[in-house]
Chains A and B, each alone.
Chain A
Amino acid sequence: MPGIEECLAEAMGIGGALGVSLVDWTNGLAIGTAGLGPDGDHEVGAADATELARAVTQTPSFADPDTGAPPAEDVIVTSGGNYHLLRFIPASFDANVFLYLRLDRDLANLAMARLRLAAIADRLVLS
């Protein structure tokens, strides 16, 4: 049963990973970090990613509430040099957290990274 630090270290092993953090989107706290944040600042990156996560979880169009499933699984943003991957943690209680992984666009395989991050997110909370 890995802890948060082990999961973050594992996420940094994904090809092209630049930095990863575990963020609580109700309050913007970076609970754990590894690698480098955007512009070297994980706190700012966590705050910005929180805005994105709130936009998804708090709006009915994206949260898709009628399926009965947890609000959203992930968010992918593609910028000039990076992929930004947000993966929501399916905690059994109200842990409103997500993994925020930044990838180098030239080095990363987006489909593979998404699958591996999903597996890490599941392992974080399910023993």
Chain B
Amino acid sequence: MWSADTLAPTTPAPPLPPVPSVPPLLVASPVSVHRLVPAAGQFGAAAAVPGPYLTNGPVTGESVLPGPATTSVTTTPVTAAPVTAESVTAESVSAPPAPRPRRAHAAPLPRRRRSSCAPATTFEAALTDLAADGSTGALHGPGGAVHLAGGLVVHAEAPGAATVGHLLTGAGRITVRQWEDGLPLGAGRLAEHLLGSGLVGAGELELARLAATLDGAQEALAQHDGELRFDPAAVPAFRLARPLSVLELRGAIGRRRSLLDGCWPSADLDRAPLLATGAAPTRRTAVPRRRRQALLAAADGTRTAPELARLLGRSTYGTLLDVRQLAAAGLLTAPRPAAVPDPPPAAVPQAAPPDVLLPPGPRSYDSSDPEVGLLLRLRAALEAL
């Protein structure tokens, strides 16, 4: 897509756009300023490394500050992996012998394509940088992974999202047994096995690959916390016949989300256990009757939308679309509030008073009393001095 030779600057300092007060990197990235300035300062020395996300070591100072949500909390995801093998070799091979002069201001980020849709999460930002470098490998996060080949997206997966196997077996195209027979072949050869055995047509397999990739990418791109890791040696289970650019992928995911929000503008039901209300619909829905009935029958108050999708052999996205339409018609609800994905940061662990100083036996004070607790913390802090 953007080959490095066409987009890497041949001159050390291309002219800046006319609004230089805030460099574009700082506008386009969700990462706050105080973290990026030192990262951008390293840019000149580490120009051959895929991006600042992979060059920084973990920031230990933030991980020991479990305070309430401040700006520093949002920056912790950037504490990405150590420099990978690929990036080390790339640096040693292609870095010029003389170090480039350090720029006084933040690097103008020559290789990231700036557009109206700036990366919204740290995962998107890291993926955009890796793609701009033409990287091959997989960007892993705790909530999903995206595989690149030559900077183009060939596969994506997420723990809760439907896979090609779920789609094909759930739709009755192949049996679970036939699918499991192909699994020992390993990543990359499963597609040949399915096509060669005549079980699945080429067109249908490609549609399944695309549906699974988009389902996985929708989860993966939304990751904004957790450690990201780039593995240049990862081999995807399937490869899209027509790989997508990261810009295409992000645009596609954005349009999928806006279609969901157009049906029912709340993501509350996306992860909550769902229950059919049994009430008469307040309006007609466009969900075909059989799909609707199967979904409502399976919504027993214990399964979430991704679990329903796997149970019914449907794509996660198609199920979410149905769920939101049925919720808008009053047919589905969440029996209890959704599990809070990000619980508030735990209270500052109180330094317990050293046991040796306490008399044995039951304590004579009520530690649940806030004033007593405050005194205990004060004492512990004084003793720690």
User: Which of A59, A69, A91 has a CB less than 8 Å from the CB of B207?
Assistant: A91
CB-based contact B241/A3 at 8 Å = yes
B317 and A26 contact, CB distance less than 8 A: yes
Give A86-107 interface residues, CB cut-off 8 Å to B: 89, 91-97
A97 contacts across to B, CB distance below 8 A: 207
CB A1 to nearest CB in B, in angstroms, measures: 4
Is A4 part of the contact surface with B, judged by Cβ < 8 Å?
Answer: yes
Q: Which residue of A lies closest to B240 (CB)?
A: A31
Give the bracket for the number of chain B residues in contact with chain A.
35 or more
**Residue on B nearest A47 in the bound complex, by CB:** B255
Interchain CB contact under 8 A, A31 and B315: no
Q: Within 8 Å of chain A (Cβ to Cβ): is B336?
A: no
Q: Is the CB of B255 within 8 A of A28?
A: yes
- Please name the residue on chain A nearest to B254 by beta carbon: A27
- The docked-state distance in angstroms from the alpha carbon of A126 to that of B171 is 12
Contact partners of A62 in chain B: CB under 8 A: 286
Q: Which residues of B from 241 to 298 have beta carbons under 8 Å from A?
A: 241-242, 244, 248, 251-253, 255-256, 259, 262-263, 284-290, 292
Cβ-defined contact, B317 with A94, below 8 A: yes
Q: How far is the CB of B135 from chain A (nearest CB, A)?
A: 22
A125 touches B284 (CB 8 A): no
Q: How far is the CB of A118 from chain B (nearest CB, A)?
A: 15
- In the bound assembly, the distance between CA atoms of A27 and B201 in angstroms comes to 23
Contact digits for A39-74, partner B, Cβ 8 Å, 1 yes 0 no:
000000000001000100111101101111111000
Say whether B259 contacts A54, CB under 8 Å. yes
Q: Given the known inter-chain contacts A4-B202, A60-B286, A71-B288, please indicate yes or no for A95 contacting B173, CB distance below 8 A.
A: no
The answer to whether B214 and A27 touch across the interface, beta carbons within 8 angstroms, is: yes
Instruction: Verify A3–B202 contact, CB threshold 8 A.
Output: yes
Known A4-B241, A92-B172, A94-B315: A26·B255 in contact at CB below 8 Å: yes
Please name the residue on chain B nearest to A69 by beta carbon.
Answer: B288
B255, A27: Cβ atoms under 8 Å?
yes
CA distance A58 to B314 in the complex (A): 18
Q: Is B50 located at the chain interface by the 8 A CB criterion?
A: no
A123 neighbours in B (Cβ, 8 Å): 203
Tell me how far the C-beta of B97 lies from the nearest C-beta in chain A, rounded to whole angstroms.
Answer: 43
Find out whether the CB atom of A29 lies under 8 angstroms from the CB atom of B252. yes
Classify chain A's interface size: 35 or more
CA gap between A61 and B158 in the complex, in Å: 35
Interface centre among A7, A54, A127 (most CB of B within 10 A): A127
Contact B170 A93 (CB under 8 A): yes
Tell me if B210 counts as interface (CB < 8 A to partner A).
yes
Judged by a CB distance under 8 angstroms, whether B206 is at the interface is: yes
Complex contact B288–A63 (CB within 8 A): yes
Q: How far is the CA of A68 from the CA of B288 in the complex (A)?
A: 5
Query: CA A125 – CA B325 in complex, angstroms?
Result: 27
Q: Given the complex, which residues of B lie within 8 Å of A69, measured CB to CB?
A: 288
B313 at interface (Cβ–Cβ under 8 A)?
Answer: yes
Closest approach, in angstroms, between the C-beta of B280 and any C-beta of chain A?
15
Does A32 sit within 8 A of B, measured CB to CB? Answer: yes
CA distance A50 to B251 in the complex (A): 14
CB distance from A2 to the nearest CB of B (A): 6
- Assembled-state Cα–Cα distance A126/B255 (Å): 28
**Chain A residues, Cβ within 8 Å of B200:** 127
Contact of A93 among B171, B259, B263, B287 (CB under 8 A): B171
A124 contacts the other chain (Cβ, under 8 Å)? yes
Partner among A28, A54, A67, A125 whose Cβ is within 8 Å of the Cβ of B203? A125
Please name 30 pairs of A and B residues whose Cβ atoms are closer than 8 Å in the assembled complex, sorted by A.
Answer: A1-B203, A3-B201, A3-B202, A24-B252, A26-B317, A29-B244, A29-B248, A31-B206, A31-B207, A58-B325, A60-B284, A65-B284, A66-B289, A68-B289, A69-B288, A71-B286, A71-B288, A92-B173, A93-B167, A93-B170, A93-B173, A93-B207, A94-B315, A94-B319, A95-B208, A95-B211, A97-B207, A124-B201, A125-B201, A126-B201
Identify the 5 closest CB pairs spanning chains A and B, nearest first: A94-B318, A3-B202, A27-B252, A1-B201, A60-B284
Q: A58-B262, A94-B318 are in contact. List 11 more A-B contacts (CB 8 A).
A: A3-B203, A26-B256, A27-B214, A27-B251, A27-B252, A57-B286, A58-B263, A95-B211, A125-B203, A127-B198, A127-B200
